[in-house]
Amino acid sequence: MDDINKAIELKDGIAELYLLRGSIYASTKKYDLSIQDYTHALTLNPALTDIYEIRGHLYNKKKNYENALKDCDKVLQ
């Protein structure tokens, strides 16, 4: 994780680094941090539409059904 954080510090505008860190956060059940990183990755690269599905699942795990539904709707568009 330290290497990813350092890479983000050096190259802040790379969406894939946020995706990687978000995945690590999700695997350790740090859902809020994961959602933050996925959201930031989407602001950097809106073409990463697969992230809506992943983020929707995380919202669902947090019982945030409104945002989960919004992300699932974006997947279907």
Thinking of the domain 2-76, which architecture would CATH place it in?
Answer: Alpha Horseshoe (1.25)
Question: CB within 8 A of 17, min separation 6: which ones?
Answer: 4, 7, 8, 11
Sign of torsion over alpha carbons 72, 45, 20, 29:
negative
Sign of torsion over alpha carbons 61, 26, 32, 66:
negative
Predicted local confidence at residue 20, as pLDDT: 97
Residues 8, 18 contacting (CB under 8 angstroms)? yes
Distance (Å) of CA 44 to CA 3, 19, 55, 62, 63: 20, 11, 15, 24, 26
Predicted local confidence at residue 12, as pLDDT: 86
- pLDDT mean values, one per 10 residues, the chain (77 residues): 94 94 98 98 94 97 97 91
Predicted local confidence at residue 69, as pLDDT: 97
Model's pTM, two decimal places?
0.92
